[in-house]
Amino acid sequence: MKIYSNQNVNAEQIIPFPDEVHTTELDWWMIYDADTKVITIQPLQCSGYTSSPLTMVIADTEEELEQYIADHGLKIGDS
């Protein structure tokens, strides 16, 4: 699992200030606001490059991403 953040998140596993994060069609990823714990882009799979002022989590499986959501008390935001 990789966690990228442009927010003020202090944790050893966080990769700070990402730009154009690459995902493949096999990666599961989402974006959330670390301050409010609201998921702004729900878990999905697609390849490409993504940038965000928020926090992005990339996992190998959907289950791993769902566990991260549960462990961190995240909630789906309004679209």
Q: Exposed, middle or buried, 41 (CB in 10 Å: 0-12/13-18/19+)?
A: middle
Per-residue pLDDT at 19:
85
- Rounded to whole angstroms, how far apart are CA atoms 11 and 33? 15
Per-residue pLDDT at 79:
46
Per-residue pLDDT at 8:
84
**In sequence order, what E strands does the chain have?**
2-5, 14-16, 21-23, 28-33, 38-44, 48-50, 55-59, 75-76
Q: List the pLDDT tens digit at each of the 79 positions of the chain.
A: 999 999 988 777 888 888 899 999 999 999 999 999 999 999 999 999 999 999 999 999 999 999 999 999 999 876 4
